[in-house]
Amino acid sequence: MQRDIWPIVPFPCPVCGTLLQTAEWYRRVATVAGFLSPMAAALAAGLRSWGEIGLIELVAFFPSIYIYVNFLKFVVPPKLIPGIAKDSVLKLR
C-alpha cells in the first residue's frame, strides 16, 4: 500500500506502527522556496511596492509550498526519520 508522505506531521509506519517523519531540512527547503518564489515572481512582473509584494506573498505562499513539496518528493525523495509525537515529553537524563 503506497501512501503520500507529508513533511509536516509524523505518521505511523504501515508495517510496524512506529511514528515516522521527514527530515527537518526537507520542510525548510519547501518553506524557503515557497516564500522566495512568489517574491521573485512579483519582482519579475514589475511590482516594486512592499504592499504589492506582501499581497502576492499572502495569496501565493501556501499554494507554492504545496507545489514545491509535491515537486520536491519526485526530485529528492524524503529521508524518513523516527518521529516524535507532539504530546511527548523528552526526558534527557
Cβ(64)–Cβ(38) below 8 Å: yes
Q: Is residue 10 domain-resident?
A: no
Q: Is residue 4 domain-resident?
A: no
Neighbours of 29 (CB within 10 A): 16
Q: Is residue 43 domain-resident?
A: yes
Domain of 61, in residue numbers: 18-77
Q: Is residue 85 domain-resident?
A: no
Q: Which of 7, 2, 11, 5 is nearest to 84 (CA)?
A: 11
Mean pLDDT of 46-74: 87
pLDDT above 60 (res 91): no
Work out the percent of the chain whose per-residue pLDDT is above 70: 82
Q: Is residue 7 domain-resident?
A: no
pTM assigned to the model = 0.63
The tally of domains found in the chain comes to 1
**Cα-Cα-Cα-Cα dihedral sign, residues 64, 66, 70, 73:** positive
Number of H helices, E strands in the chain: 2, 3
Report which of residues 90 and 25 the model is more confident about. Answer: 25
Q: Is residue 73 domain-resident?
A: yes
pLDDT, mean over the chain:
81
pLDDT above 80 (res 93): no
Q: Is residue 27 domain-resident?
A: yes
